[in-house]
Amino acid sequence: METKFIFITGGVVSSLGKGLGSAALGALLQSRGYDVRLCKLDPYLNVDPGTMSPFQHGEVFVTDDGAETDLDLGHYERFTGKPATQSDNVTTGRIYTEVLAKERRGDYLGATVQVIPHVTDEIKDFIREKDGTADFVLCEIGGTVGDIESLPFIEALRQFGNEMGRERALFLHVTLLPYIPAAGELKTKPTQHSVKELMGMGIRPRILLCRADREVPEEELKKIALFCNIDEEKVIPALDASSIYEVPLTYHKVGLDTQVLDAFGMTDAPAPDLEKWEKIVRRINNPESEVTIAVVGKYTNLNDSYKSLNEALTHGGIANKVKVHIKFVEASLFDSSNDDIAHALDGVNGILVPGAFGNRGAAGMIKAIKYAREKKIPYFGICFGMQMAIVEAARNLCGIENATSSEFTDEGEHIVGLMTEWVKDNAKETRGNDDDLGGTMRLGAFPAALAIGSKVAEIYGSEEILERHRHRYEVNINYKDKLEEVGLMMSGTSPDGTLPEICERQDHPWFIGVQYHPELKSKPFDPHPLFVSFIKAAIEQGRLV
């Protein structure tokens, strides 16, 4: 079938769950047997989100091919099971970089380079290159309609929509119906204004997904349809769901996928098979018990900064039929040498130190790791969490008191140091101290070889794995023997044996550190084996206390 394009815009406010809505719609179309592809257009000027603070923008999602992308791509992967790639995410910064490179090369043959047509053409090219790659291409536009930044994108989509025609391009607008307690009503005016804004830019949405925190009265939906010039059945109320994995089911119930297909005139589409979603939701709603995992991190006051991690822990819970409570512990509160972290970790069934950058919080994390090691509480260290587990062992068990990472200081003994070269796709990549920060880490999927007989080899059921990386520093392999003497085994390395990838303790119920980000590959239907095993160990720990 000819590829059909669905463009998802947002109005009224940000954080409406556009990404989740797009992912859910993708899953629904997939459940009817269609091949889908999801991509995201981000209007900010950063070339990619790699240099953005997790406090501002949430997690950076890394793809197999090494792109640092928006966290919505994580939703897309988790909902459709399809690995995202570099070519699924673009920003204004990247578009301009391309346009300016072309201008310098002289590709525009002396033309005055302008937003229309040069920037808009570049955006259209990004979308058009997806033609033929799937039955449906869903394209989410970041930000809120009316933002200055998104104007070139909206204009490009208007042109693209005209070129494709109604049979192949559809605009779906997500809005909010706020509830005003004093009036006791859900208000439709912001939605009307937002649609008007979009129409003023030449785009007529044919489907409206109206987010609301309560039932939307029929007459309000009719009113929106009338004022916004949209078919009544295509004004769809979208209520909050109890879990994100319930969203495909709730959106199906209100007719989202049916109306999308109807808009394309696809009235004889196959019925959806939603069995796997029903099963997941049943499991989530009926846990047999519960565990509490402490996540000792430094971006703990923004939930989105650990998006994939939170989901991967949930997946581990689904696989073990338990509810996972996450207790965020702000590591930096325990950095000073007088603070004791024991109180904050009291009663938890597992401790996890996630990825992080910089010194702040490191001392608190090291305390948490020591506590987990000594009290035999399951410990999972991810990236920075592995590096700090190594520093903890070096300091407290090997007696190297000044053991540290060169990320923090030039002084001391650098057990963790700046990586200067590694192999990617058979070619050597080299980095120096003064290189740019953006896009220069060890990024994307790399293979690792696991030691025969190790706990990780047993958990993976394999001795060769492929996992996603995003880091600049690495444990120095020359400390392998010293660390193994104190029980911290290097149970996984890069295939050439030079870069430590995994450490584990065999004298502990569950103590594993990994240099990569397993959370990025976990899916509700295909939970990551390390998370399944970690949660299982946490359940066992819970039985002991």
**Window 95 to 114, contacts with ligand GLN (CB under 6 A):** none
Verify binding: residue 384, ligand GLN, rule CB under 6 A. yes
Indicate which residue of 68, 139, 519, 528 is catalytic.
519
- Is the CB of residue 170 less than 8 Å from the CB of residue 206? yes
Between 23 and 362, whose beta carbon lies closer to ligand GLN?
362
Applying CB under 6 A, which of residues 470, 508, 521, 528 lies at the interface with ligand GLN?
470
Between 193 and 472, whose beta carbon lies closer to ligand GLN?
472
Q: Give strand ranges (E) for 143-234.
A: 169-176, 179-180, 185-186, 207-212
CB of 462 to ligand GLN, least distance (A): 24
Stretch that binds ligand GLN, among 38-46, 246-254, 314-322, 468-476 (CB under 6 A): 468-476
Between 150 and 387, whose beta carbon lies closer to ligand GLN?
387
Q: In angstroms, rounded to a whole number, what is the distance separating the alpha carbons of residues 389 and 369?
A: 6
User: Which amino acid, 387?
Assistant: Q
Question: How many beta carbons lie within 10 A of that of residue 253, not counting itself?
Answer: 9
Between 38 and 383, whose beta carbon lies closer to ligand GLN?
383
Indicate which residue of 383, 392, 503, 504 is catalytic.
383
Token match 């104190």: residue? 486
CB of 345 to ligand GLN, least distance (A): 20
Stretch that binds ligand GLN, among 27-35, 352-360, 445-453, 491-499 (CB under 6 A): 352-360
> Reduced to 3 DSSP states, what percent helix, strand and coil does the chain have, rounded to the nearest 5?
40, 25, 35
Verify binding: residue 357, ligand GLN, rule CB under 6 A. yes
Stretch that binds ligand GLN, among 266-274, 360-368, 389-397, 466-474 (CB under 6 A): 466-474
Kindly list the distances between the CA atom of residue 86 and the CA atoms of 54, 83, 124, 427, 451, in Å, as whole numbers in the listed order: 20, 10, 17, 19, 32
Verify binding: residue 471, ligand GLN, rule CB under 6 A. yes
Residue 398 designated active-site: no
Three-state DSSP class for residue 385: helix
CB of 45 to ligand GLN, least distance (A): 24
Q: Ramachandran region of residue 234, left (φ > 0), alpha (ψ -120 to 50) or beta?
A: alpha
Stretch that binds ligand GLN, among 14-22, 192-200, 314-322, 350-358 (CB under 6 A): 350-358
Verify binding: residue 327, ligand GLN, rule CB under 6 A. no
Strands 185-186, 61-62: pairing kind: unpaired
Smallest CA-to-CA distance from 364 within 292, 304, 298, 301 is with 298
Between 34 and 473, whose beta carbon lies closer to ligand GLN?
473
Kindly list the distances between the CA atom of residue 340 and the CA atoms of 197, 366, 367, 391, in Å, as whole numbers in the listed order: 54, 11, 8, 18
Contacts of 393 (CB under 8 A, 6+ apart): 373, 483, 486, 487, 488
Applying CB under 6 A, which of residues 383, 443, 499, 514 lies at the interface with ligand GLN?
383
Token match 């310098």: residue? 104
**Window 472 to 511, contacts with ligand GLN (CB under 6 A):** 472-473
Contacts of 284 (CB under 8 A, 6+ apart): 243, 245, 246, 314, 318, 323
- Is the CB of residue 449 less than 8 Å from the CB of residue 463? yes
Q: How many residues of this chain bind ligand GLN (CB under 6 A)? A: 10
Three-state DSSP class for residue 399: coil
Applying CB under 6 A, which of residues 355, 364, 378, 381 lies at the interface with ligand GLN?
355
Applying CB under 6 A, which of residues 20, 62, 331, 356 lies at the interface with ligand GLN?
356
Verify binding: residue 446, ligand GLN, rule CB under 6 A. no
Q: What does the DSSP assignment read for 106-154? A: TTTTTPPP-IIIIIHHHHHHHHHTTTTS-SEEEEEE-S-TT-STTHHHH
CB of 162 to ligand GLN, least distance (A): 43
Between 325 and 472, whose beta carbon lies closer to ligand GLN?
472
Verify binding: residue 61, ligand GLN, rule CB under 6 A. no
CB of 353 to ligand GLN, least distance (A): 9
Structure token digits, residue 107 = 């590709």
Between 317 and 355, whose beta carbon lies closer to ligand GLN?
355
CB of 43 to ligand GLN, least distance (A): 26
Verify binding: residue 299, ligand GLN, rule CB under 6 A. no
Between 338 and 433, whose beta carbon lies closer to ligand GLN?
433
Between 43 and 500, whose beta carbon lies closer to ligand GLN?
500
CB of 59 to ligand GLN, least distance (A): 10
Q: In angstroms, rounded to a whole number, what is the distance separating the alpha carbons of residues 132 and 144?
A: 29
Stretch that binds ligand GLN, among 234-242, 270-278, 288-296, 464-472 (CB under 6 A): 464-472
Read off the DSSP letter of residue 166: T
Residue 491: its H or E element: strand 488-493
Q: In angstroms, rounded to a whole number, what is the distance separating the alpha carbons of residues 58 and 95?
A: 22
Read off the DSSP letter of residue 451: P
CB of 241 to ligand GLN, least distance (A): 31
**Window 398 to 437, contacts with ligand GLN (CB under 6 A):** 407
Question: How many beta carbons lie within 10 A of that of residue 158, not counting itself?
Answer: 18
DSSP-assigned beta bridge partners for residue 502:
492, 514
- Is the CB of residue 374 less than 8 Å from the CB of residue 505? no
Residue 383 designated active-site: yes
CB of 470 to ligand GLN, least distance (A): 5
Question: How many beta carbons lie within 10 A of that of residue 115, not counting itself?
Answer: 13
CB of 316 to ligand GLN, least distance (A): 20
Between 216 and 445, whose beta carbon lies closer to ligand GLN?
445
Structure token digits, residue 235 = 């004004």
CB of 76 to ligand GLN, least distance (A): 21
- Is the CB of residue 326 less than 8 Å from the CB of residue 293? yes
Between 471 and 508, whose beta carbon lies closer to ligand GLN?
471
Catalytic residues: 383, 517, 519
Which residues lie near ligand GLN (CB under 6 A)?
355-357, 383-384, 407, 470-473
